[in-house]
Amino acid sequence: MARSGRRPGPSGTREAILRAARRAFHVHGYDGATIRGIAAAAGVDPALVHHFYGSKEQLFAAAMEVPFTPSEVIPALLEGGAAGLGERILRFFLAANDRPEAGPFVALIRSASSNERAAAMLRGFIVREVIGRLAGALGLPHAELRASLVGSQLAGLAMARYVLRVEPLASADPDTVVAWVAPTLQRYLTGELPRPAPGARTRRSGRTTGRRASRP
Amino acid sequence: MARSGRRPGPSGTREAILRAARRAFHVHGYDGATIRGIAAAAGVDPALVHHFYGSKEQLFAAAMEVPFTPSEVIPALLEGGAAGLGERILRFFLAANDRPEAGPFVALIRSASSNERAAAMLRGFIVREVIGRLAGALGLPHAELRASLVGSQLAGLAMARYVLRVEPLASADPDTVVAWVAPTLQRYLTGELPRPAPGARTRRSGRTTGRRASRP
């Protein structure tokens, strides 16, 4: 990513920036963290952070070891238009995660599941860089709900296939998974979907729908 | 659950049994843990464990604070037949989890995401008591794959709605979530679904489908 004749810093500088970035994203969340603040914490000039890592999104990807950035991937996936978009998203997702070692989504899910700050950080990144971009590009009603439903099926697929490794889903070949799951994603993305009932109460509005069985 | 004139043990006995059960399920997995072994570890007679908690499934639910047992819930959900089953499962799932404090699925997902042993334990319980029962009752081809796909969408919904709390999915009222997600579950349960291609290689068979972007 070097793009100037500027002399690179010592090899420890990149690691110091990534350490400062991880700390800043955890403490301030994705939206609250700034390149300027991360540079100050690492004791370097903000221009050096931009020089090494480009945007905040790219710095997040490098610090969290996400091997791609939504700003690159989503436009490429959208290039073929709305038809087949669910399948293209799913094939990209499987290719990124079907590997012997734990893929990036799995690491993020593990981290977000185990503590509230990591969850908030991941939520900020997903809402801003994934759902926001996808929803804007779709240009359909309920675009943000559509994108969050796609995310829910992908997160659950990662959980079942890579974390819990429930068979036969864990070992099914990618074509089989695509045949079963891509229509779900396509419907969430472009299907005719019901509008929320007018005046429907949300689950935050105080109604208790929980149910408890009696304990022995 | 008392069902005899047997004198109940001291109040610490139940807690000792639950502690031993949690340890046994973590160490030996769901299938490997036995009532006999748990009783021995708690220093009580196996009959007392059965007396207090019934089956291994019920003991697991009590030890892990799952507020229901699949052997009770699944037959009730199946009573109305295959039509509308996806919606009934989803409404039960939302009612169990839409509450101010973290619901049982969320706690299980957190635990399973953060360590391999908890994941194996949960996998054993889900495969044996949930997917096995549901697949058997469905009596359709690919019943286990169908059940694991249902589980994947529910796990992802829990992740998006309760753990990451991505809007608008997090605050959508139950009827809206049902309108959007129940058709997915219904298709996984009873839809015409493609068969795996004959001879298709699984992701375990050595083909590397992973993709890595270059690192800065």
What is chain B's pLDDT, residue by residue, as a tens digit (216 residues)?
444 444 445 668 999 999 999 889 888 888 889 999 999 999 999 999 999 999 998 998 888 877 778 888 888 888 888 889 999 999 988 988 887 665 556 667 777 776 677 777 777 787 778 777 777 777 777 888 888 899 899 989 988 898 888 888 999 999 999 999 999 999 998 888 676 555 444 454 333 333 333 333
Q: Name the token pair of B200.
A: 């298709």
Query: Per-residue b/e over A140-178, b at no fewer than 16 CB within 10 Å?
Result: eebbbbbbbbbbbbbbbbbbbbbbbebbebbebbbebbb
For the stretch A18-53, pLDDT in tens is 999 988 988 888 888 999 999 999 999 999 999 999
Taking an 8 Å cut-off on Cβ atoms, the answer to whether B194 and A180 are in contact is yes
Q: Give the mean pLDDT of A135-152.
A: 82
Whether A207 shows a pLDDT value over 90: the answer reads no
Q: Does A27 touch chain B (CB under 8 A)?
A: no
Q: Does A199 touch chain B (CB under 8 A)?
A: no
Query: If pLDDT is split at 50, 70 and 90, which confidence band does A196 have?
Result: low
- Which chain B residues are within 8 Å of A181, Cβ to Cβ? 149, 152
Closest partner CB to A211 (pick from B95, B196, B197): B95
Q: Which range among A102-106, A179-183, B190-194 shows the weakest confidence by mean pLDDT? A: A102-106
What is the per-residue pLDDT for A7?
45
CB B66 within 8 A of CB B58: no
**Beta carbon pairs, A and B, within 8 Å:** 230
Query: If pLDDT is split at 50, 70 and 90, which confidence band does A164 have?
Result: confident
The shortest C-alpha distance from A55 to chain B (Å) reads: 12
Cβ contacts of A120 within 8 Å, gap of 6 or more: A29
| Contact residues, A window 34-93, toward B, CB-based 8 Å cutoff | 52-54, 58, 62, 67-68
Rounded distance, CA B151 to CA A166, Å? 9
Closest partner CB to B216 (pick from A62, A103, A212): A62
What is the per-residue pLDDT for B71?
83
pTM, two decimals, is 0.75
Least CA distance to A212: which residue of chain B? B67
Q: Name the token pair of A30.
A: 């994705």
Mutation pick from A162, A203, A205 vs chain B, by most beta carbons of B within 10 Å, is A203
Least CA distance to A193: which residue of chain B? B180
Taking an 8 Å cut-off on Cβ atoms, the answer to whether B215 and A113 are in contact is no
